[in-house]
Amino acid sequence: MFDPTAFDNMKVVIEGALYDLDIKGDIIITDRNDLINLAKMSRSFDVSFQLPDGNGTAKVELKSTLLNLAAELLPSMQTEHQTGCYVRLEFFLEQEKEPDFYELKDILLNIWGDSRDFSLTSHVHPLDTNQKISIILAVEFGRLVTEDQMDDLVNMTDFVVTTLERLNIR
């Protein structure tokens, strides 16, 4: 038996919280990836889901680098402050017309606060007039998330669902 890393523990907690919502019927999980990059010795995990009646998708992603793993497994390095993982949230929408990007940013600011990093991207095929506009909104925390914030990860799932609901209402 191996001793799970901080990444493993946080992955299990966020995955459990989201699957609980899926079982209750609050969300529908549409994709799940658990990857190990052997070239960089990094890990990533993501879960994508939709609301039962919504048209957008949310993705919760955790990433851990070699430095994060080494800090945890080699305490002699005295880099315990590097144990943990990075969290990124993405919201995918498709719309008929170009949205008000300031309104989308305000939705993110109202839910996540101004201490987060936001990015908004839109994609459209310029020659296809019938195509919908694809929009990606991302929220990053700009810092390492540690096992000390495990309860915050569970609470974060409610904020992700709320964000998806508000983005779909517009």
pLDDT value at position 165?
A: 94
pLDDT value at position 1?
A: 45
In order along the chain (170 residues), what is the average pLDDT of each group of 10 residues?
79 96 97 95 96 92 89 70 88 89 94 93 82 92 86 93 86
Domain-by-domain residue ranges, the chain? 6-169
User: 165: burial class by Cβ within 10 Å (0-12, 13-18, 19+)?
Assistant: middle
Instruction: Give the residue from 72, 67, 89, 80 showing the smallest Cα distance to 8.
Output: 72
pLDDT value at position 124?
A: 85
Is the pTM of the predicted complex or chain greater than 0.75? Answer: yes
Say if domain 6-169 classifies as CATH 3.30.1460: yes
